[in-house]
Structure 1
Amino acid sequence: MGACTTTMIVIATILGPITLVFMSVSFGTNFWVQFTVNVASFNKTIRDRTRTDVGFARYHLTRDRGLFRECYPGNETEFLDKATGVVDDYCFNINYDQPSNVQNPSDSYMTRLHLNRSFLAFFVVSIALFVIAYIFGLILCCLRAARWAYVAGIVSYSSAFFLAAAIAFFHGAEYIERNKLNGGPNSNEAQFYPSWEQYLKDATTRQYGWSYPLAWVGMILATIAATFYSLAGCYIASEFYEDEEVLHKSRHRNYPGPVDPVYAIGADPYYTKHYGYPRAFLGPLAPDYYARTYPAIGYGDPRNDIWHWREVES
């Protein structure tokens, strides 16, 4: 096994758990989108309403949103004491089903919901595929066969593709949320940006959290690991073919062939009598074509025995 092949397999194997850490942390944390709201800019009526009206307060306060939860880490969260379905004291689970209180949802609302579902599903598939690719990479470390390297590379590339598609679905849902859902302040779309009052738009700052770039880093690392797996497979295959070529050439070397004695024409038949042609002993593993036959043993004058040698087919 060449040094280049070993180096690539080692690098890909090391990148495996690092990539899984980035993917898993991005998947499980709640900092994909962060909304920072300047509550001090609101008048007293709005601030009082954020303490009592749960539905109103959920988009009037600072919050962090992930794949599964939307959390309110600020101090002005008195509305949580009256809210139902609170998780970990300051979070709400994100529902990927159509809420029961939403009647006659618009096409944009349902499209956003389906994009969010695709976002979650593709992310799960991406992590599962990379776990499978890493298992194939461990098998490659033991067997050193090109097919395992190619399989690990293809599955890793598929994982990176699914993660990139998941991020694309996330941006699609985000675009609809910010530009299409404008049903008015009294509709079920009041929580989305186009339906906000101007004072709320001015007081809210929206940005991506650190969970979002972790997903991109995981996708890039998965692509790099897939590339190293594929290159290792190419090197292993090339080394295999080189070994096959050397072996093929060695099988066609011009080894000296066995010879068979030919007696002089006209010699006395008495002298041609012999005990046979015993095989030379070369050990139990010696090939047949290394064997040499001994010349015939005559009874007459050795000086009258004229020997001629010729090649015989083995």
Structure 2
Amino acid sequence: MGACATALIVIATILGPITLVFIAVSFGTDNWLVYTVKSDVSKTNPSNKPLAVQMVYHSRNQGLFRICYPGNDTKFLDNAQGVVDRYCFNVDYEVPETVSNPSDEYMARIHLNRLWLAFYIVAIVTFICAYIFGLVLCCWRISRWAYVAGLCAYIAAFSVAAAIAFFHGAEYLERNKITGYEQFYQGWPSTLKDGTNRKYGWSYIIGWVGMILAAFTATFYSLAGCYITSGHYEDSREILEKPSRHSPHMMMEPMYTLDDPYYAKYAMSGGYPRGGYVGPYMYGPDGRPLAHAPAIAYPGDPHWQFREA
């Protein structure tokens, strides 16, 4: 049992940093959605339209925080406002000022994007806590630390899965339900729809991998806790069932308290009383320890101080 628990803890401890890296990279990169627009379609970019409409005519990568345009057809960025790192825009989690009366679907998309971000933050924080509890488990083999680490890792895995689900919900609304806005799919002209290829990027894939690794880590911690609990139970049962050969009387003889009516009789017959005593030594009237004092005290002996067991 001890070897199994150790192996599971080692595996979970190794998986911890790997899982955290996968979740963090997925969280911070901009390749969740990849839009590839044909060059001939990009040339039809209506320069007289608002910037939000011009943006959809160019190939781009979209993530939690930014929308980036890594291609060469980015002349529209030269005079654009709010450009970050030369070819990116920050994702806005508020209603733009240009939208006066947003529809219910529009607001639902914004809320889903916020939940996508929030649950990813919860996943990272809880998994860091799980890894800290796992390090504590490496020092003290106590089952509750394993269960707490497993619970935190399970919460992290669930949070990543929920975040990805909210991402899909926002994507579904953006593509199928939001109408009346030229920057969303339902408002695109047919040439733009036909000339745009959309796919999930490597940030999305890494997110799923991080979720699976977090679930495996949680399972390993939980199983380690079960093995530790089982090992402690077996050790306790062995101690209770097998008397100690060094001090057999501790298991063979009954325990008495000071108010037991048979206490004095048993003690005078050679048994060992079980009353507690204060201090590791016995002291005489002058306060000095008695080196020659017997190891066993009997009722009435003034050198021992008894309390009830």
TM-score for both structures, normalised by structure 2 = 0.78
Aligned partner of residue 89 in structure 1, secondary structure: coil
- The percentage of aligned residue pairs carrying the same residue is 56
> What is the rounded CA distance, in whole Å, between the counterparts of 2:128 and 2:195 in structure 1?
43
CA contact (8 A) 1:50 1:56 kept: no
In structure 2, the partner of 1:115 is 112
In structure 2, the partner of 1:93 is 90
> What is the rounded CA distance, in whole Å, between the counterparts of 1:176 and 1:260 in structure 2?
89
In structure 1, the partner of 2:237 is 245
> What is the rounded CA distance, in whole Å, between the counterparts of 1:197 and 1:52 in structure 2?
14
Instruction: Report deviation, 1:246.
Output: 1.3
Amino acid at match of 1:12: A
Instruction: Report deviation, 1:54.
Output: 3.0
Aligned residues: 259
> What is the rounded CA distance, in whole Å, between the counterparts of 2:268 and 2:242 in structure 1?
22
Post-superposition Cα deviations, 1:278-300, rounded to whole Å, max 9, x if no partner, equal: xxxxx99x986xxxxxxxxxxxx
Amino acid at match of 2:28: G
In structure 1, the partner of 2:223 is 231
Whether 1:15 and 2:15 are equivalent positions in the alignment is yes
CA contact (8 A) 1:50 1:60 kept: no
> What is the rounded CA distance, in whole Å, between the counterparts of 1:86 and 1:127 in structure 2?
28
Post-superposition Cα deviations, 1:201-245, rounded to whole Å, max 9, x if no partner, equal: 010000000000100000000000000000000000011011111
Whether 1:180 and 2:172 are equivalent positions in the alignment is no
> What is the rounded CA distance, in whole Å, between the counterparts of 1:2 and 1:158 in structure 2?
27
Whether 1:210 and 2:207 are equivalent positions in the alignment is no
> What is the rounded CA distance, in whole Å, between the counterparts of 2:117 and 2:78 in structure 1?
30
Amino acid at match of 1:15: L
Instruction: Report deviation, 1:182.
Output: 1.4
Instruction: Report deviation, 1:41.
Output: 4.4
Aligned partner of residue 239 in structure 2, secondary structure: helix
Amino acid at match of 1:144: R
CA contact (8 A) 1:54 1:82 kept: no
Amino acid at match of 2:231: E
In structure 1, the partner of 2:302 is none
Whether 1:200 and 2:196 are equivalent positions in the alignment is no
> What is the rounded CA distance, in whole Å, between the counterparts of 1:51 and 1:130 in structure 2?
48
> What is the rounded CA distance, in whole Å, between the counterparts of 1:260 and 1:68 in structure 2?
84
Instruction: Report deviation, 1:248.
Output: 1.4
Post-superposition Cα deviations, 1:168-190, rounded to whole Å, max 9, x if no partner, equal: 1000001101100111xxxxx21
CA contact (8 A) 1:9 1:229 kept: yes
Unmatched tracts of structure 2, length 5 or more: 244-249, 254-265, 271-290, 297-309
> What is the rounded CA distance, in whole Å, between the counterparts of 1:51 and 1:153 in structure 2?
56
> What value does the CA root-mean-square deviation take over the aligned residues?
2.6
In structure 1, the partner of 2:143 is 146
Q: Equivalent residues in 2 for 1:52-91 (5 A)? A: 54-91=51-88
Post-superposition Cα deviations, 1:130-176, rounded to whole Å, max 9, x if no partner, equal: 00000000000000100000000011101111111101100000110
Aligned partner of residue 101 in structure 2, secondary structure: coil
> What is the rounded CA distance, in whole Å, between the counterparts of 1:214 and 1:10 in structure 2?
23
Instruction: Report deviation, 1:258.
Output: 9.8
Instruction: Report deviation, 1:115.
Output: 0.3
Aligned partner of residue 207 in structure 1, secondary structure: strand
Aligned partner of residue 197 in structure 2, secondary structure: strand
> What is the rounded CA distance, in whole Å, between the counterparts of 1:82 and 1:260 in structure 2?
105
Q: Cα 1:51–1:208, aligned 2, differ >3 Å: closer, same or farther?
A: farther
Q: Cα 1:22–1:35, aligned 2, differ >3 Å: closer, same or farther?
A: same
> What is the rounded CA distance, in whole Å, between the counterparts of 2:103 and 2:48 in structure 1?
30
Aligned partner of residue 246 in structure 1, secondary structure: helix
> What is the rounded CA distance, in whole Å, between the counterparts of 1:117 and 1:253 in structure 2?
64
Unmatched tracts of structure 1, length 5 or more: 184-188, 262-282, 289-314
Aligned partner of residue 58 in structure 2, secondary structure: coil
Aligned partner of residue 238 in structure 2, secondary structure: helix
